[in-house]
C-alpha cells in the first residue's frame, strides 16, 4: 500500500508544497503560491531595511498549495503526514492563543504586528547590545552565534519592536516563529502551554542551549533590557526535533483539505535546515542552499565538537539540523537578491548577462566587488557593512559588472567554507540546492572554480519542501530516523561541476584582493 507525505516550504517570496511517495521520495505533485501582499511591497521600507509579511499571506498560500497537491494525490486517504518549514528567524508578536496580532482589526495595518522577515535589519542596534552583553559574561550566551548576535535573529527583532511600538508592547502576550505558527494552525493548537516548538529556531537563532537549562537566565535578558523578561517567561522553554509529531490535523483543516484528522503534523523547522535534509546532509557533506540569501549547512558528531564554538560563525548548535549531531549554518545575507537587484537596475535578463560574462577573458584589471548588499552574515556578522564595486572604467559594461557580482558572491562563499574548514568541520562533498543551482551554470561554475572543489547539484529543485516531507515521514513513524528516511527518499545529483585548475589559481589571486577590499570598507 502506497503511503504519502507532504512537505510545505515557506520561502521569501512564496510557499510551495510537494506530495511525496514516502517509500521512494518520488514527487507526485507540486504547487507554488506567491504571497500577494508581499508582492505589492506592502509594509516594507527598503531604506530602513524593514521587511514585513502579513500572516494572511501565509494562511491563504497554505490552503492553496495543500488543496492543489491533495487533489493530485492518487489516494488522499494514504496521506500520512504533513510538515512545514519557513524562513528563519521570521517572528511575530501574538495574543495569548499564539495568533498574530495583525489578524486583529486594530493591528491589521501595523507592520510591527506582522511577521518580521529573516532579512529585516531594523534591530541592528539591539543585536549589537546582545553581542556586548554576551562578551561581559562567562559563559558567553552568544557563543552559538559565534559571539556575534545578528539582526537576522529573533531577540534583536523582538527587542526593537518592544522598544518602539507601545501598542504592540501593551497587547502582545508573546511571540512565535513562522514555522511554529503554521504548525499550530494545522493542529489547531491555541495554547502556549500545549505548543511543540521546533528546536531549530531556538537553538540556532534564540540562544537556547540545553546545557544551561534552555534560554540564558532572566538576569541576562534583564541586563540587555527588562522589556524582554515578560515574553521570555511566556514562551516554551522545551522544544522538539523536527522528527517529532506536533499533533494531528485539526478538524477545521481536515475539512478544508478533505483529509482525515489522523494525519500527523510534524514539528516545524527552518527552511535552510530542512533543505539540508532534503539534500541528504550527513557528516562530511556540506549543503549549499542558494536562494535569495545563501545558507551553507554542515553537521558533525557531537562527541567531536561538543563545547567547541567557532568565533564569528553564524549558527552552531546541537540537534538543529540532524538530531544527535552538531549543526552548523553560515552563508551570505544576499545571494540571489544581488543578481535580482542588478536585473532590475539594467533591465537585462540574467541568462543573457551570464552568456556575455562567460565570454570575458580572465584579466587582473576586471572590476572587483564585495557581496555585502544586505550586510554580512558570516564570517563575523555585520548588518551595517555595505557592498562596493571597484575598478570601474568608462568602458565597463553590464556584463563585466555582473561577472564581478557573481565572483563576489563566490568569494563570500569561499570565506564561509574556509571558516568551516579552519574550525575543524569536515567537508568531503558539497551539494548545492535551490533554484539558482539548477538555473545558472555560470554561477555554479564560478563557485566551483573559486572553491577548487567539485560541487554537485541536487536532482530535487525543492529540497526544502522535500526535507519537510522527510521529517513528516519520520514523525509519522514510517522510518526510525531522519538518516534512514534520507537514504530512501532523497534524490541523487542532477549534475556535477568540476573545477578548472587554471581558473582556480586566477581566482585565488583575485580572492586575496577581495579580502583586502572587504577589510578596507569595514
Give the pLDDT confidence score for residue 54 in this predicted structure.
98
- Of the residues 270, 293, 316, which one is the last residue of a structural domain? 270
- Of the residues 270, 292, 311, which one is the last residue of a structural domain? 270
In a domain, 382, yes or no: yes
In a domain, 63, yes or no: yes
CATH number, domain with residue 432:
3.30.420.40
Side-chain half-sphere CA neighbours of 295 within 13 A: 30
Same domain assignment for residues 285 and 252: no
Same domain assignment for residues 253 and 306: no
Q: In this predicted model, what pLDDT tens digit does every residue of 32-84 receive, in sequence order? A: 999 999 999 999 999 999 999 999 999 999 999 999 999 999 999 999 999 99
In a domain, 227, yes or no: no
Per the structure, the count of domains in the chain is 2
Give the pLDDT confidence score for residue 307 in this predicted structure.
85
> Does 380 have pLDDT greater than 80?
no
Q: Are 428 and 299 in contact (CB under 8 A)?
A: no
Q: In this predicted model, what pLDDT tens digit does every residue of 434-493 receive, in sequence order? A: 889 999 999 999 999 999 999 999 999 899 999 999 999 999 999 999 999 999 999 889
Give the pLDDT confidence score for residue 520 in this predicted structure.
84
CA distance 160 to 122: 7
> Does 254 have pLDDT greater than 90?
yes
Same domain assignment for residues 48 and 21: yes
In a domain, 84, yes or no: yes
Same domain assignment for residues 285 and 361: yes
Give the pLDDT confidence score for residue 381 in this predicted structure.
79
Same domain assignment for residues 93 and 196: yes
Same domain assignment for residues 497 and 389: yes
CA distance 22 to 27: 9
Q: For residue 167, what is the enclosing H or E element?
A: helix 166-171
In a domain, 412, yes or no: yes
Same domain assignment for residues 316 and 187: no
Q: In this predicted model, what pLDDT tens digit does every residue of 84-102 receive, in sequence order? A: 999 999 999 999 999 999 9
List of residues 6+ apart from 132 with CB closer than 8 A: none
In a domain, 61, yes or no: yes
Same domain assignment for residues 66 and 188: yes
Same domain assignment for residues 110 and 250: yes
Same domain assignment for residues 355 and 262: no
> Does 287 have pLDDT greater than 80?
yes
- Phi, psi at 399, each rounded to 5°: -65, -40
Q: In this predicted model, what pLDDT tens digit does every residue of 149-183 receive, in sequence order? A: 999 999 999 999 999 999 999 999 999 999 999 99
Q: Are 289 and 297 in contact (CB under 8 A)?
A: yes
What's this model's pTM, rounded to 2 decimal places?
0.94
> Does 230 have pLDDT greater than 80?
yes
Predicted confidence band of residue 384 (pLDDT cuts 50, 70, 90): confident
Same domain assignment for residues 247 and 306: no
In a domain, 78, yes or no: yes
Q: What average pLDDT does the segment 249-259 reach?
A: 98
In a domain, 342, yes or no: yes
Q: What average pLDDT does the segment 136-144 reach?
A: 95
Give the pLDDT confidence score for residue 378 in this predicted structure.
87
Chain-wide mean pLDDT for the chain? 96
Give the pLDDT confidence score for residue 1 in this predicted structure.
84
C-alpha cell at position 267: 514539528
What residue has cell string 495574543? 95
Give the pLDDT confidence score for residue 36 in this predicted structure.
97
Same domain assignment for residues 41 and 108: yes
Provide the residue range defining the domain that includes 27: 4-118+177-212+237-270
Amino acid at each position: 500500500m502506497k503511503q504519502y507525505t507532504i512537505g510545505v516550504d515557506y520561502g521569501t517570496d512564496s510557499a510551495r508544497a510537494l506530495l511525496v511517495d514516502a517509500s521512494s521520495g518520488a514527487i507526485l505533485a507540486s504547487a507554488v503560491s506567491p504571497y500577494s501582499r508581499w508582492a505589492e511591497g506592502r509594509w516594507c521600507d527598503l531604506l530602513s531595511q524593514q521587511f514585513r509579511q502579513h500572516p494572511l499571506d501565509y494562511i491563504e498560500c497554505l490552503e492553496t498549495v495543500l488543496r492543489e497537491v491533495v487533489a493530485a494525490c492518487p489516494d488522499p486517504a494514504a496521506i500520512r503526514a504533513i510538515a512545514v518549514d519557513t524562513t528563519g528567524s521570521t517572528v511575530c508578536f501574538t495574543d495569548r492563543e499564539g495568533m498574530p496580532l495583525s489578524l486583529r482589526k486594530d493591528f491589521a495595518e501595523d507592520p510591527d504586528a506582522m511577521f518580521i522577515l529573516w532579512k529585516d535589519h531594523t534591530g541592528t542596534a539591539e543585536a549589537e547590545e546582545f553581542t556586548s552583553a554576551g562578551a561581559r559574561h562567562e559563559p558567553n550566551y552568544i557563543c552559538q552565534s559565534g559571539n556575534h548576535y545578528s539582526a537576522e535573529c529573533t531577540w534583536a527583532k523582538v527587542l526593537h519592536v518592544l522598544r518602539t511600538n507601545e501598542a504592540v508592547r501593551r497587547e502582545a502576550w508573546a511571540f512565535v516563529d513562522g514555522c511554529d505558527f503554521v504548525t499550530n494552525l494545522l493542529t489547531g493548537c491555541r495554547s502556549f502551554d500545549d505548543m511543540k516548538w521546533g528546536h531549530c529556531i531556538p537553538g540556532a537563532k534564540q540562544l537556547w542551549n540545553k546545557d544551561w537549562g534552555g534560554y540564558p537566565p532572566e538576569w541576562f535578558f534583564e541586563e540587555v533590557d527588562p522589556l524582554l523578561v515578560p515574553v521570555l517567561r511566556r514562551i516554551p522553554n522545551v522544544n522538539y526535533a523536527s522528527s517529532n509529531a506536533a499533533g494531528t490535523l485539526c478538524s477545521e483543516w481536515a475539512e478544508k483539505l478533505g483529509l482525515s484528522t489522523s494525519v500527523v503534523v510534524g514539528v516545524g523547522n527552518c527552511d535552510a535546515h530542512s533543505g539540508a535534509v532534503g539534500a541528504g546532509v550527513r557528516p562530511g557533506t556540506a549543503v549549499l542552499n542558494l536562494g535569495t540569501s545563501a545558507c551553507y549547512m554542515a553537521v558533525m558528531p557531537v562527541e567531536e565538537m561538543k563545547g567547541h564554538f567557532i568565533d564569528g560563525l553564524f549558527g552552531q548548535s546541537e540537534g538543529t539540523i540532524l538530531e544527535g549531531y552538531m549543526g552548523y549554518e553560515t552563508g551570505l545575507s544576499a545571494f540571489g537578491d544581488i543578481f535580482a537587484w542588478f536585473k532590475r537596475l539594467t533591465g537585462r535578463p540574467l541568462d543573457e548577462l551570464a552568456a556575455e560574462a562567460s565570454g570575458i577573458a580572465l584579466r587582473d584589471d576586471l572590476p572587483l566587488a564585495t557581496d555585502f548588499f544586505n550586510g554580512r552574515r558570516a564570517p563575523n556578522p555585520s548588518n551595517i557593512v555595505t557592498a562596493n564595486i571597484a575598478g570601474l572604467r568608462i568602458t565597463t559594461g553590464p556584463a563585466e559588472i555582473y561577472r564581478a557580482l557573481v565572483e563576489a558572491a563566490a568569494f563570500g562563499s569561499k570565506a564561509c567554507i574556509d571558516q568551516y574548514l579552519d574550525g575543524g568541520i569536515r567537508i568531503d562533498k558539497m551539494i548545492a540546492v535551490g533554484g539558482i543551482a539548477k538555473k545558472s551554470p555560470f554561477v555554479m561554475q564560478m563557485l566551483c572554480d573559486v572553491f577548487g572543489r567539485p560541487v554537485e547539484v541536487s536532482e530535487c529543485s525543492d529540497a526544502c519542501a522535500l526535507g519537510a516531507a522527510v521529517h513528516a515521514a519520520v514523525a509519522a513513524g514510517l522510518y526510525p530516523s531522519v538518516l534512514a528516511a534520507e537514504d530512501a527518499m532523497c534524490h541523487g545529483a542532477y549534475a556535477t561541476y568540476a573545477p578548472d585548475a587554471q581558473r582556480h589559481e586566477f581566482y585565488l589571486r583575485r580572492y586575496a584582493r577581495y579580502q583586502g577590499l572587504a577589510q578596507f570598507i569595514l
